[in-house]
Amino acid sequence: MASGAMQPIMQVPELTKSQAFLKRLEGLPDGAKVRDCIQCGMCVGVCPHGSAMEFPPRRVIAALRADRLDDVYRSESVWMCVSCYNCSYRCPSGIPLSDRLLAMIRVDLLMAGVGVPKELQTAFERTTRYGNPFGESAKKRDAWTKEAGVKVRVLKPGDSADVLWHVGCFPSYNKANLKDTVALARLLTALGVDFGIMGADEWCSGDLPCTAVGEEGLFSLLHEHNSGQFADRSFGEILVGDPHAYNALHQEYPRLGTAYPVSHYTQFLEERIPELSKGMKKRLDVKVTYHDACCLGRRNGEYEAPRAVLETIPGVKLTEMPRNKENSLCCGGGGGAMWLDSYIWERTRTPLPILRVQEAAKTGSDVLAVSCPLEVPRFEDAIKTAGLEGRLRVREVSHMLAEAMGLVGGV
């Protein structure tokens, strides 16, 4: 070597793929906690599909530490996650496993265009184009209001209302949910709430098909659109019917600079229990068990509001399934899994919605009450498959309340 040539004192090593991944993860909220993983395996044990995953969260972290990220990329495990937040909730180190670690793997696979299930691609493409995963025209988003039987104001830019109701995609378009959407509109009207919706200007909140699924660019697009629409109208608070929308607006939008007071409809109604009680006209005389939606319960800690409003209904006897509240079993539809039922079933052979309706039936309940629009079609199908028709019914809390208040005539 020529004398006098400058030699670096210490080579700065380039980051390996796994190290670069960890560095990016550490830049996300609570992402740095990944360093604290003690490899206890709690995440695997509580995961409803953990036994079928080649790379459950614990092994993902082990692989990252062993610089074997490519093994994780090659595995299909990450698409089996249903974003039930059991792993994140139970992790003793508080690592955001569902919506940061696993979501980041999905982000990378999506960017590389490798191994992404086709069904999910379709949902993404439709949401990008139409603002809803069904591929329906945005103009038809408020078509349900024609059948509502009460006046539902569609707020135009410049309009104002006390409450802005972000209705959501399933409640706006999906046939099995429309009766519950109408029921909620009638409840709000009966309670004298000054509310309005955004009609065609409302797009998917982004939580269901995006955040935990890794389509960050699409999430940003939806957030940008919705926050722009919010800014064009004046209102005191936002009301949502879907726990996934609640998660997006409560957890993710503030992170991106859009912070409004937001409540799930069960929380909104819980604040109005005296008025609800006064309006009760009919005894329902049913034994009810309530299924905690993951995004409302484990993810956002709301267990009491839905139960409290159910208890205002005369004749409702509330009973619990053995797995309730923070131990609730996921319906299997979160984290994009609503579009991946066949994909997941082929790889796990664990029919989560069927297991859940069987648990509900074992309590001897007549009604499985839910507060998430996805659960209505999921559990209705599961009840048929499990042969429980005639023994168990799935019902939205809103619809039960509206019935007890004599508001569901015609729906």
Partner 1 sequence: MKVAVVLRQVPDVVEELVIAEDGRNLSEDDVRYVTNELDDCALEQALVLKGRRGARVTAFGVGGIEARDALATSVAKGADEAVFVPLDFAERGDSHRLAAHLATPLREGAYDLVLTGVQAPDEVDGSLGAILASSLGMPHVGGLVAADVDANGPKAVVRKEFAGGRCGVMEIALPAVLGIQAAEQPPRYVPVSKVMQIKKTLQAREMTAPVPEVRGTRIAKLSKPETGAKAKMLEGDAGAVATAIAGLLKERGLL
User: Contact residues for partner 1 (CB under 8 A)?
Assistant: 110-111, 113, 116, 118, 121, 124-125, 128-130, 135-137, 139, 215-218, 220-221
State both tokens at 37: 């993983």
- The distance of closest approach from Cβ of residue 118 to partner 1 in the complex, given in angstroms and rounded to an integer, is 6
Residue 189's Cβ-count burial label (10 Å; 0-12, 13-18, 19+) is middle
Q: Are strands 367-370 and 286-290 parallel, antiparallel or unpaired?
A: parallel
Distances (CA, A) of 301 to 89, 126, 295, 296: 10, 31, 9, 6
Nearer Cβ to partner 1, position 39 or 137? 137
- The distance of closest approach from Cβ of residue 30 to partner 1 in the complex, given in angstroms and rounded to an integer, is 22
CA distance 404 to 232: 37
- Decide: 82 and 333 in contact? Cβ < 8 Å: yes
- The distance of closest approach from Cβ of residue 244 to partner 1 in the complex, given in angstroms and rounded to an integer, is 19
- The distance of closest approach from Cβ of residue 395 to partner 1 in the complex, given in angstroms and rounded to an integer, is 30
Q: Report DSSP state, residue 199.
A: G
SS3 259: coil
If we measure between CA atoms, which residue out of 316, 164, 312 comes closest to residue 241?
A: 164
Nearer Cβ to partner 1, position 109 or 198? 109
If we measure between CA atoms, which residue out of 91, 8, 13, 16 comes closest to residue 47?
A: 91
- The distance of closest approach from Cβ of residue 169 to partner 1 in the complex, given in angstroms and rounded to an integer, is 15
Residue with tokens 């999921």: 378
Nearer Cβ to partner 1, position 122 or 160? 122
Nearer Cβ to partner 1, position 88 or 226? 226
- The distance of closest approach from Cβ of residue 147 to partner 1 in the complex, given in angstroms and rounded to an integer, is 19
Q: How many CA atoms lie within 13 A of 363 on its CB side?
A: 24
If we measure between CA atoms, which residue out of 297, 328, 339 comes closest to residue 133?
A: 339
- The distance of closest approach from Cβ of residue 139 to partner 1 in the complex, given in angstroms and rounded to an integer, is 7
Residue spans of beta strands (DSSP E) within 172-226: 195-197
Q: Is the dihedral of CA 365, 367, 369, 374 positive or negative?
A: positive
- The distance of closest approach from Cβ of residue 59 to partner 1 in the complex, given in angstroms and rounded to an integer, is 26
- The distance of closest approach from Cβ of residue 221 to partner 1 in the complex, given in angstroms and rounded to an integer, is 5
Residue 184 carries which side chain, given as an amino acid letter?
L
Nearer Cβ to partner 1, position 144 or 246? 144
Nearer Cβ to partner 1, position 118 or 151? 118
- Decide: 312 and 273 in contact? Cβ < 8 Å: yes
Neighbouring CB atoms inside 10 A of 311's CB total 14
Nearer Cβ to partner 1, position 39 or 220? 220
CA distance 125 to 217: 12
107-112-115 Cα angle (round to 5)? 85
Nearer Cβ to partner 1, position 100 or 299? 100
State both tokens at 125: 């493409």
Nearer Cβ to partner 1, position 94 or 228? 228
